[in-house]
């Protein structure tokens, strides 16, 4: 299957401003289940320079810098992606990791001494103690860790309302937990902290998710990945109650959700700005696939 992804971002400023250095996380990250066939990025005003870099977390990004004043910043990103088959259940967990998990309730996961220092920054545990209690209700023992994670993910999907929020802020895990609703990014951040309370390392992921069966599935999306020794990073989507598959295309992953924003930068000048963004994802027909091959 081939997908065409068009992503438009427009910032309109109240007055002419000087744009600072901007970081664009609009380049798909390395995954074995898709290939980027072609990509193009158009920026207006034209930057003085543009360089593709890799950040501390291994994410690809574009660095842009400007010198002329402007009242608008427009970014058009387009790409064609070839998806391959991918089984998210196809892995075996590390035996020592499984054995180190507390066998009784309350559940608590432990990483090896070699990994402990590496995963520590990825363990977030903000929010009320009720979050730990709720997660513990699904723990049945070491025999089915994946089933446990899937049940927690499905429970959030079934009991928290998924809403569309255009504000750029991120709700706290505590607030999302109490109001029983949130955007995809709010729900992902809440689940990261739920799992962090039982010792699991997680990272926040922003990107695209294509689901032709949903009316609202072709937009910028957010989910989380949990680190399981032996399996690596395993994707969970609480908005849909699923493990992530080949139809999820990550743009950035980080322990800090704010460092995964598609556009990061600032400006110098008076007044504020307004943001407009639109993502369109379409599956190419057989004829279109042959033309782009």
Confidence of residue 291 (pLDDT cuts 50, 70, 90): low
DSSP string, 240-257: TTEE--TTEEEEEEESSG
On whether residue 16 sits in a domain, the answer given is yes
Does residue 251 form part of some domain?
Answer: no
Is the pLDDT at 218 greater than 70? The verdict is: no
Confirm if 40 and 79 have CB atoms less than 8 A apart: yes
What gap in Å lies between CA 159 and CA 126, rounded to an integer?
20
Query: What's the pLDDT score for residue 14?
Result: 95
Q: What number is the average pLDDT over the span 4-22?
A: 96
Mean pLDDT of 256-285: 92
Residue 99: pLDDT over 80 = yes
pLDDT of residue 273: 92
Domain that holds residue 42: 2-84+262-292
In this structure, the answer to whether residues 191 and 126 fall within a common structural domain is yes
**In this predicted structure, what is the pLDDT of residue 107?**
87
Confidence of residue 130 (pLDDT cuts 50, 70, 90): very high
213-232 in b/e form (b: 16+ CB < 10 A) is eeeebbebbbbbbbbbbebe
Does residue 99 share a domain with residue 80?
A: no
Give the per-residue pLDDT at 117: 93
- Residue 253 falls inside a structural domain: no
pLDDT band at residue 54, thresholds of 50, 70 and 90? very high
Same domain, 147 and 270: no
Tell me: do 125 and 53 sit in the same domain.
Answer: no
172 is a domain residue: yes
Q: For residue 90, is it within any domain?
A: no
pTM comes to: 0.93
**124 plus 216 within the same structural domain:** yes
pLDDT, residue 167, reads 79
Instruction: Kindly state whether residues 99 and 179 are assigned to the same domain.
Output: yes
If asked whether residues 99 and 237 sit together in one domain, one would say yes
The count of other CB atoms within 10 Å of the CB of residue 66 is 21
Total domain count for the chain? 2
Alpha-carbon distances of 2 from 51, 208, 228, 271, 288, rounded to whole Å: 27, 14, 30, 42, 9
Backbone angle region of 237, left / alpha / beta, with phi > 0 → left and psi within -120 to 50 → alpha: beta
Q: Rg of the chain's alpha carbons, rounded to an integer?
A: 20
> Do 17 and 110 have their domain in common?
no
* 200 shares its domain with 109: yes
Q: What is the pLDDT of residue 38?
A: 94
Q: What is the per-residue pLDDT for 180?
A: 97
Give, as one character, the DSSP assignment of residue 238.
T
- Is position 101 within any domain? yes
In a shared domain, residues 168 and 220:
yes
* Average pLDDT of the segment spanning 243-247: 93
For residues 155 and 228, membership in a common domain is answered with yes
CATH number of the domain to which 233 belongs: 3.10.620.30
Nearest to 234 by CA among 256, 268, 264, 205: 205
- 108 and 237 assigned to the same domain: yes
Crossing angle between the packed helical segments 184-196 and 129-136, to the nearest 10 degrees: 80
pLDDT at 6: 95
Answer yes or no: is 164 within a domain: yes
């Amino acid at each position: 299957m081939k997908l065409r992804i068009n992503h438009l971002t427009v910032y309109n400023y109240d007055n002419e401003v000087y744009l600072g250095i901007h970081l664009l996380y609009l380049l798909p990250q390395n995954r074995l289940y898709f290939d980027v066939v072609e990509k193009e990025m158009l920026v207006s005003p034209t930057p003085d320079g543009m360089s593709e870099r890799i950040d501390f977390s291994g994410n690809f990004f574009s660095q842009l810098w400007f010198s002329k004043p402007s009242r608008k910043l427009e970014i058009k990103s387009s790409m064609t992606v070839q998806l391959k088959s991918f089984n998210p259940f196809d892995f075996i967990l590390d035996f020592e990791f499984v054995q180190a998990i507390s066998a009784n309730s309350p559940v608590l996961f432990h990483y090896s001494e070699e990994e402990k220092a590496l995963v520590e920054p990825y363990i977030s545990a903000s929010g009320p103690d009720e979050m730990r209690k709720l997660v513990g209700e699904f723990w049945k023992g070491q025999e089915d860790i994946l089933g446990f994670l899937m049940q927690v993910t499905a429970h959030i999907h079934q009991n928290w309302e998924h809403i569309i929020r255009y504000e750029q802020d991120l709700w706290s895990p505590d607030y999302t937990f109490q109001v029983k609703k949130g955007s995809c990014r709010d729900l992902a951040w809440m689940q990261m902290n739920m799992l962090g309370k039982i010792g699991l390392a997680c990272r926040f992921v922003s990107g695209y998710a294509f689901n032709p069966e949903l009316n609202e599935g072709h937009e910028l999306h957010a989910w989380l990945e949990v680190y399981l020794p032996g399996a690596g990073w395993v994707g969970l989507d609480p908005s849909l109650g699923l493990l992530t598959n080949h139809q999820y295309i990550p743009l950035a992953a980080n322990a800090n959700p704010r460092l995964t924003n598609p556009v990061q930068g600032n400006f110098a000048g008076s007044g504020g700005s307004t943001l407009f963004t639109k993502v369109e994802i379409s599956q190419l027909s057989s004829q279109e696939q042959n033309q782009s091959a």
